[in-house]
Structure 1
Amino acid sequence: MTKTALSHKSASPWLEDMRRRFRTLPFLKATGNTVFLFIFFYLYLYIQRNPVFEVTQIPATQLDRWIGFQPWALALYLSLWVYTTLPVALQPDLKQLTKYGLHIGLMCALSLLIFVFWPTSVSAAVGPREGGGMFAMMYAVDTNGNALPSLHVAAAVFSFMWLQTIFRSVRAPIWLRVVDALWCAGICYSTLAVKQHLLLDVIAGGALGAVAGWLSLRSAGRGKIAG
């Protein structure tokens, strides 16, 4: 038996399934995700900087006042852009990839419509945000506008639900699903810790992501997600 054959024989079935998914349509997945983000951010920032209606200030809760500014959470906050690529990379075929892109696109489009007709901000309630460096760059690009619902949280929850379903489908070990849950929770917490969002934004974003995720998974079907 060759070394390659031994390697495939010793590899866990779930790991082989994950590798197969990653190797399916890699260029299309990478290109499509990049184009999607470019279009989304162009619209998101344009709406943020050109509000049509009066901007509503979201009030802080006691929890928001208790959670102070925590610079260490920036890495978790920015890790969303890695996290959201995972369910894209793990789609088993073109049909499922297209369905996934359509559903997350609809969720983002709904959020943008909300931001157009009900622009919101947390700038008056988040408290001091110091940090310089990466923080100064982030604040210069992405202000405290388009606050509710938090799309950062919505995208994290949507991705979490898809990843959990995929991991169950390929019979991945429980530790991987735990890591996934902790990563998602960390991203949601980071939005409060870096003072980009308030608790009400997080709750609304979580609800949006959960409903959109449930509807998309129901439409896709578990058997098809299993590939």
Structure 2
Amino acid sequence: MSPRPALFGLPRREELVLTGSLTVGFALFFLAVYGGASWVTGFYSGGLRVELPFERHIPFVPAWAAVYVSMDVLLLLSLLVFRTWRDMVPFALALCVETVVGAVGFLVLPVEVAWPARVVHGGWAEVFFLADTMNLERNYLPSLHVAFACTAALAYAERSGWLARTVFGLWAAGIAASTLLIHEHHLVDVVAGALLAWWTWRLVAPRARREDFLNALHVEALCARELFRFSRRHLRYALIALALYRYSLGRWWRAARVARVGFCFLQLVDDVLDGDRRIEGEPLDWVDALLVELETGRAQDTGTAATLGRVLLASLEDREARGHVFQLMRTMRADRERVLGRRWLGAEALRAQHRDTFRLSVDLMLHVAGAGVRASDAPALIDAFGWCSSLRDLREDLAQGLYNVPAEVAEEVRTEGADPSDCDALLASAAGRAWVVGEYARARTLLDCCSVELAALEGRAGVPLLRLFHRSIESFWAKRLPRRMPFLRDAARLRPWPSGAASGR
């Protein structure tokens, strides 16, 4: 039988960051839920009377406020007891559940205390004021102060010897007694808080310790962190994050996880290859190591991306869809090679590169959504994606050395004495402007063709998703791009392109 690990200890720095984040997260959650319940019940008039006859004989002892506020110290000991985030999760989750159940109790069964007004002078006045402030107003049944203290005693007892169990039990009992002796709660509140702790710990802890639950929680945390990082760079990623979570709430959360993981994984790979996410070494070496790890299972030092990639591939039951993941990674890799080689592609080669990128991306999204259509059913939309990406990120791409301007146009710009790799110089040149105006006209034709394609697909699963993409590109064409390039508003009559040329068919 292996010896029991020490009850207290210092966690590793990286684990302390995670357990500390859980602690801060719970504190914010508690303030929002507990404080919100206190605010709402402030509009109530009166409440239940739950005092028992003998309680009027319980003395008011302000000195016990010191024991009352010691509950925070008891909870903070969790950072030394639970030294990994996996150990901390059941404890933090139990406290969150108790907070929610308690808030429901406060709202459904508001209590009016029977204690007389309390006035404290002398040495214990400041401690009592702190205790009274912590309790806020009207949040009585059940006592979360007692629930939290008992939960800590139950959780720590599982890792303790008989002496420590006795100390934690007496500490929780003292906190429960303090709620009566400083007249913050009635006995019914105290008993309800203790029962809530017992019930919650028995219900939550076994489930929150399961390996599959912890692994899923880890993946969700990684996705949330990546979505936050993407959103800091550009607002459109915040909108995508909201759309992903809205989509997930409309389905089984677990079933929609592949959509969240897939987006975060592929966007992270794209950011690394584009230079938007800094890494040590060359991004091509990084993505090659990632490909080896995902294709062979050999561990490499690719961190978050490898974790998300493994989850994504495991979630894709279709072999073709898994193949699309690797094809897309290699297609994105080719863009990095273009940057390193300072290569300009011809118009047709450039469109083919964009077509491959967005065909694979859209097919993956449609597969994840369980759609009955594929990118090949809407080729004009795929070409419109390529057009939108080129013009939307034109300035950023040129600055990074990713030339999404055809080589033929670049040569014409050079003959005018301008630098086609400089966005302002490109747009100031006659050839550059003519190219943008022509692309604007081509996009209009593509979008019109797309409307016809989507109408023909009406009724098939996945078409609403394609329509969402179509509306987004339409909005960029009609509003956002003309605001960025005002000369498009003044362009005379845009010559429509033949539909075959527009779609590249």
**TM-score normalised to the size of structure 2?**
0.37
1:197 corresponds to 2:185: yes
Equivalent in 165, 168, 187 of residue 175 of structure 2:
187
The Cα shift of 1:17 comes to 2.8
Q: Secondary structure at the match of 1:18?
A: coil
Structure 1 letter corresponding to 2:86: K
1:64 corresponds to 2:52: no
Q: Distance in 2 between matches of 1:113 and 1:187?
A: 23
**Aligned ranges 1:126-165 → 2 under 5 Å:** 126-131=115-120, 132-139=125-132, 142-165=135-158
Question: 1:208 aligns to what?
Answer: 196
**Aligned ranges 1:80-99 → 2 under 5 Å:** 80-99=71-90
Q: Distance in 2 between matches of 1:66 and 1:219?
A: 43
The Cα shift of 1:138 comes to 4.3
Q: Pairwise CA RMSD of aligned residues? A: 2.5
Question: 1:177 aligns to what?
Answer: 165
1:23 corresponds to 2:36: no
The Cα shift of 1:193 comes to 0.6
Q: Which has the larger radius of gyration?
A: 2
Structure 2 stretches lacking a partner, 5+ long: 211-505
Structure 1 residues 86 and 63, CA gap change in structure 2 (3 angstroms): farther
Answer whether contact 1:86 1:163 (CA < 8 A) is retained: no
The Cα shift of 1:107 comes to 1.8
Q: Distance in 1 between matches of 2:183 and 2:65?
A: 10
Answer whether contact 1:151 1:205 (CA < 8 A) is retained: yes
Question: 1:5 aligns to what?
Answer: none
1:144-198: CA deviations, max 9, x gaps?
A: 411000011111111111111121xxxx3x2222111111110000000111101
Structure 2 letter corresponding to 1:43: V
The Cα shift of 1:104 comes to 2.1
Structure 1 residues 53 and 181, CA gap change in structure 2 (3 angstroms): same
Question: 2:101 aligns to what?
Answer: 110
Q: Distance in 2 between matches of 1:120 and 1:199?
A: 12
The Cα shift of 1:221 comes to 6.1
Structure 2 letter corresponding to 1:116: L
Equivalent in 49, 59, 62 of residue 39 of structure 2:
49
Answer whether contact 2:37 2:106 (CA < 8 A) is retained: yes
Structure 1 residues 138 and 160, CA gap change in structure 2 (3 angstroms): closer
1:89-140: CA deviations, max 9, x gaps?
A: 3224322322332232122112112222333231xx1123121433345435
Question: 2:22 aligns to what?
Answer: 32
Q: Distance in 2 between matches of 1:134 and 1:19?
A: 28
Answer whether contact 1:103 1:216 (CA < 8 A) is retained: yes
The Cα shift of 1:55 comes to 4.3
Q: Which has the higher contact order (CA 8 A, sep 6+)?
A: 1
Structure 2 letter corresponding to 1:179: V
Q: Distance in 2 between matches of 1:86 and 1:48?
A: 27
**TM-score normalised to the size of structure 1?**
0.77
Answer whether contact 1:69 1:128 (CA < 8 A) is retained: no
Q: Secondary structure at the match of 1:50?
A: helix
The Cα shift of 1:50 comes to 2.5
Q: Distance in 2 between matches of 1:104 and 1:70?
A: 28
Q: Distance in 1 between matches of 2:209 and 2:90?
A: 11
Structure 2 letter corresponding to 1:33: T
Q: Secondary structure at the match of 1:83?
A: helix
The Cα shift of 1:214 comes to 1.8
The Cα shift of 1:206 comes to 0.9
Equivalent in 70, 85, 104 of residue 79 of structure 1:
70
Identity of aligned residues (%): 25
Answer whether contact 2:7 2:159 (CA < 8 A) is retained: no
The Cα shift of 1:82 comes to 0.8
Structure 2 letter corresponding to 1:183: W
Answer whether contact 1:83 1:156 (CA < 8 A) is retained: yes
Structure 1 letter corresponding to 2:100: A
The Cα shift of 1:36 comes to 1.5
Between 1:130-139 and 1:152-161, the stretch displaced more is 130-139
Structure 1 stretches lacking a partner, 5+ long: 1-12, 223-227
Answer whether contact 1:144 1:197 (CA < 8 A) is retained: no
Q: Distance in 1 between matches of 2:19 and 2:80?
A: 6
Structure 1 letter corresponding to 2:16: P
